[in-house]
Each structure stands twice: as C-alpha cells, then as structure tokens.
Structure 1
Amino acid sequence: MLSFIVRRVLAAVGTLVLSSVLVFLAVQALPGDVATQVLGKDATPDAVAALREKLKLDQPAWERYADWIGGALHGDFGASLVSGKAVGGEVGMYLGNSALIALVTVLFAVTGSIVLGILAGLYRDRWPDHLISTVSLVGMSVPEFVVATVLVLCFSVALPWFPAVVLYGPEATVGQLMPAVWLPALALAVVMAAYIVRMARTSVIDVMASEYVTTARLKGLSTWRVVTRHALPSALLPTLHVIALNVAWLAGGVAVVENVFNYPGIGKLMLASVQNRDLPVIQAIALISAVVYVVCNLAADLGAMALNPKLRTRGRTR
C-alpha cells in the first residue's frame, strides 16, 4: 500500500513540474511584446526598455523560469502588471470566491448524480432509467453558458428568486455572495452531473450482473444490502475518476459561468488578465489549475485504493 501511495505521489509531483514548464512556455509564446502591450504604442523606447528590464524579459528563458517557479514554491508569483498588487493575494481573493461556487456545485452534483446513476442502473430499461438517461444526455449536450442563460430567464426574470448578476467586487463577504451562488452552481452542476450519472449507471449495471452479486442474492440477502455492501463500492471505482476529472474541469468551466453572472471569481480574473496581457496573473492561475487537476486525480487514485482491497494488498501478495 505504501509503495502504491509513493508511486502516485511521485507521479503527481512529476506532472506538476512538467505542467509548470508548459505553462511558462505557453505564456512566453504569446504573440507581441509584453512591455509594449502594457505601456501602449505611444511609449518611448526608453520606457519600454526599462519595463523589459524590470520584468526580466532581457534574461534567458531558463533563468526567468527558475525565478518564477522558485517564487511560486514560496507563494510569491510576482506583482500584477495592471494593479501592481501581489499576484498571490489578488488571485487568492478571487480563488476563494470561486471555491464557494465549486463547493456548492460538488455537493449537489456528486451526491445527486451518484444517487441518480444508481437508480438508473437498478431500474435498467424502465421508466426511471429512461427519464434519468434522457435528462443526463441533454445535460451533456448543452453548453454551460446556455444552461446559465436559461436559469437566469427562469429564476431571475420570470421568477425573481435569485439575482441575475453580482454587483459586489472581489472583496465581498460570503454572506453577500451567497444569494448569487446558487444559479452559477446549479448551471455547473447540471453539466457536471450528466457525465457522472452515465458512468455510475454503467458501473452499477456491470456490477449487478457480476457473479459475486448473484451469489449474494442466492444467499438470501436483501436488495438494499446487496447494493450498499457489495455493489456500490465496486461501482464507485470507475466513477471516482470521472468525478475527479469533472471537479478539475470546474477550474476552467467556471470561467464562462462566472462571466455570465458577473461573479467575481477566478474565471473572471483570468479573462481580464488575458485581455490585459497580465502575464504574472495568467501564469499563477494556469499553475493553480494544474495543481487542482493533479490533486483531484491523486485523490481519485487514493480513493480507489481505499475501496479496492486488491490495491491495498498488492504489495503483500508478492
């Protein structure tokens, strides 16, 4: 078990190192000169040269990468080219707002989709299965910004229950943001849950047709006991990775939804930074997104180990 964990952790660290290199190279490959973009076309050559020196653009790429990743390991991503504030503090403020949406989304999407997927699998080819499968197929086919727009029309215009847009800035408190969190979270949950439902349904159908479930039924165990004690842990194994991928998808998918609702989250900051060529902020957000993706996949691997006895005992049987 320990060797399994060590291998997964080392693989995660290697992936993060490679991701940081790709993030740095991708940002550096953006067309145009950053100094000219920030200062404007009317800037003097001396001003451009001074800013290039300040940003260390005159140094080799490997030195700039070493300085950037060294600072990032200590939480120092440099200063924003637009606001002049520390990138870590600015990104952290927006990231906290997005985490609020992500938390509500995950609670609704993961819990609801697993329940619906189990029901669809248990009632295969009957009306609950047809209804759940049809709704999930629609959720997979419709983009999140379309879902968000429909939700605004239904619950902000026709039924004014929730605000259509957020009027607060990134400094808003949780209490101020909570009324505006539900519609963005629901829009993301609809799209996210659709994929988990399909995988959970398929896993339940495969597990319920297995020999050990048939044996448990022949022993006289109730359907509820068979599902909860025997089928559910095995059915969750392939579903965990789909959940991990969808949770990691929130880091990018939230950007579109946040702009629809004018929500002061990391997605809104990312789009504004791309428009303003604020490279330190772009690099920080991209690296944080990579960390979220790797951590989610590592958590899925460790969760699979906890649910699968074969993984826990593999090292002892050799």
Structure 2
Amino acid sequence: MITKKRWKRNIPLFIMFLPVLAFFLIFKYAPMFGLIIAFKDYNFMNGIMNSPWVGLKHFKAIFHNPQTLTIIKNTIVLSLLNVFVGFPFPIILALLLNEARRMWFKKAVQTLVYLPHFFSWVIVGGIVLTVFSQETGFINHVVQTITGAPFPFLYVESTWTAIFVSSGIWKEAGFSAIIYLAALSGIDPSLYEAARLDGAGKWKQISHVTIPGISSTIVILFILSMGRVMEVGFDQVYMLQNSTVTRISEVISTYMYKVGLMGAQFSLSAALGMFESVVGLLLVFSVNGIARKFDKSLW
C-alpha cells in the first residue's frame, strides 16, 4: 500500500505522467465512443445519438460480401508475411551490429539503416516506384540490358508482394533493431568470457548466450506484432498499389478509406474497423497465452 509520505515523494512523477494519461484518454479511449455507429445507420443529419439502430446488420454485410472477405484475407496474408518474413531482420541486424568492433563503421551503418524510418511513406513509396518503374526504373534498365525487355515488377502480383514486404523491411528494420541493441547491452559480459573459456566460438556464443539473453524481448515484440496482424499500414499500401494488383493489394485500411470516407458508408467501415480490433486483441491474448507456457509472457 502506498503511504502518504511515498505519495508526496512521487508527486513530480505523477505530474510528468499526466500528459501521457491525457493523450491516451483523448486520442485512444474517447474515440471508442464512435464505435456505436457500427450498430447504427449513421448519417450526418441525425448524428450519432439519433441515427437508427440496426444491430448487427453491418457485420452481417461484411461476412456475406465476397469482396470484404477477400479484403480481410489480403490483410491477413500481407500482415503475416510482414511478421514472419520481416520480424527476424531487426534481430539479425542487431546481432551483426553488436559484433562490429570498429566504432566508426558501426555508427555509419547504424545511421544508414536507421535513416529510412524517418522518411514518410510518400517519400519511400516514391523511391520504390522510381526504382522499379517499368519505363524509367534503374532495375529495369539492368533487366533490359540483360534480357532485352523490361519486367513489370509493380504489375505482377508475386513481385508486387515481394516489393511490398521488402520495402517495409528496409524502412523499419534499422529502427526496430534499436530495441534489440538495448537488450543486448544488458547481457552480462562474464557470460561471454565463460563461453570462450569453454571453447565456444562466435556462433556458439550467439546461439547459447546472445539469443537466450534477448529471448524475452523477442517474445514481447512478437506478441505485440501479432496484435497488429489485422493492421496493414494504409500509407504503404496506398502508395504502392495500382489497379492491376488490386485483387491482392486491397486491404482493410484502404477499403475503409475508399468506402468509409470517400463513399460515406461510415457505419460499414466502423464495423470493419471494430472487427479488425477485436481480432487483433484475440491474437494478442492467444500468443501471450502460448508464451506464458514458456514463462515469457507479456503479463
């Protein structure tokens, strides 16, 4: 129990926490009230409170519409590719940077791999589109020199998916590696010394000391990433997609933009957004339950 003296001593910390609390209350919890329109036929004239109730009408529409089912499938597929293909890259990058001994080289590489994170997807998407352009792209200049004809990388579903996943890795892997580097700095150096005395080489040290030392961090970040499986970034998809690959590139976020904002079907998009959030919550609880069996859970 917090004593009065301890409470007074921590008042400055509570004051510092107030802006964080206000941010979550205003921008995270208060907007949840708007979910009520998922159960109504919302229109501007009647407003949220006076729009007629329709119950689960919009949720039924989602699961009876083949287009929305395809969009949900696209979202899951692209997200799982991002998680299972992209998740190991920051770990590998952090391990490689941790083994670098020349500080100038380490700092130079860190700067280069962190930099894309600070670019918006408008810039990154523009770079990707320029590099892989069929007419003027650098890659196609090389391809045309070798094969005699350019290849439509951005208009073939398989190559578009590969570009989508790899561009996400390029943009975020460097910044995500910071967390793993911080975890690596907390490993006791004496463990490496003991491993060397036992005759362990670099690979043995990494597999028996380094990776077990950051396993808790890896599990926590994996649990959080699974909670975002239903969230494929709108900016990335919107910047890279085109009409030729819409069959695989249309995801929940872009569909909600086109149907909800541009098509003014606010109730339907709210129902789809609520479904997305509920699935993400269930995934977090499920993965955390599995991690708890290995004493690595988030809570």
Q: Shared fold by TM > 0.5?
A: yes
Instruction: Answer yes or no: is 1:144 the counterpart of 2:121.
Output: yes
**Aligned alpha-carbon RMSD (Å):** 3.7
Q: Residues of 2 paired with 1:98 and 1:284: CA distance?
A: 16
Which runs of no fewer than 5 residues in structure 1 stay unpaired?
1-20, 38-47, 167-175, 312-318
**Which residues in structure 2 correspond to 1:304-315 (within 5 Å)?**
304-305=291-292, 308=295
Note if contact 1:23-1:287 (Cα within 8 Å) is conserved in structure 2: no
Tell me what 1:86 maps to.
64
Query: Given residue 151 of structure 1, which amino acid in structure 2 is its aligned partner?
Result: V
Tell me what 2:23 maps to.
none
Q: Residues of 1 paired with 2:218 and 2:105: CA distance?
A: 20
The normalised TM-score by structure 1 is 0.62
Secondary structure, aligned partner of 1:150:
helix
**Which residues in structure 2 correspond to 1:15-30 (within 5 Å)?**
25-28=33-36
The normalised TM-score by structure 2 is 0.66
Query: Given residue 86 of structure 1, which amino acid in structure 2 is its aligned partner?
Result: H
Change (3 A) 1:86 1:299: closer
Tell me what 1:115 maps to.
92
How far the C-alpha of 1:193 sits from its partner, in A, is 1.9
For 1:192, which of 142, 163, 172 is the aligned residue?
A: 172
How far the C-alpha of 1:92 sits from its partner, in A, is 2.0
- The Cα offsets for residues 189-232 of structure 1, whole Å up to 9 and x where unpaired, read as 2233233311122222322x344444333333333212202220
Which runs of no fewer than 5 residues in structure 2 stay unpaired?
1-28, 141-150, 243-248
Instruction: Answer yes or no: is 1:134 the counterpart of 2:111.
Output: yes
Aligned length: 244
How far the C-alpha of 1:301 sits from its partner, in A, is 3.4
Secondary structure, aligned partner of 1:78:
helix
Instruction: Answer yes or no: is 1:221 the counterpart of 2:200.
Output: yes
Q: Residues of 1 paired with 2:258 and 2:172: CA distance?
A: 25
Secondary structure, aligned partner of 1:79:
helix
Instruction: Answer yes or no: is 1:180 the counterpart of 2:160.
Output: yes
Q: Residues of 2 paired with 1:137 and 1:106: CA distance?
A: 19
Tell me what 1:202 maps to.
182
Note if contact 1:109-1:189 (Cα within 8 Å) is conserved in structure 2: yes
Note if contact 2:59-2:272 (Cα within 8 Å) is conserved in structure 1: no
How far the C-alpha of 1:303 sits from its partner, in A, is 6.2
Q: Residues of 1 paired with 2:116 and 2:32: CA distance?
A: 35
Tell me what 1:271 maps to.
257
Note if contact 1:123-1:129 (Cα within 8 Å) is conserved in structure 2: yes
Tell me what 1:155 maps to.
132
Q: Which moved more, 1:294-303 or 1:255-264?
A: 294-303
Change (3 A) 1:212 1:146: same
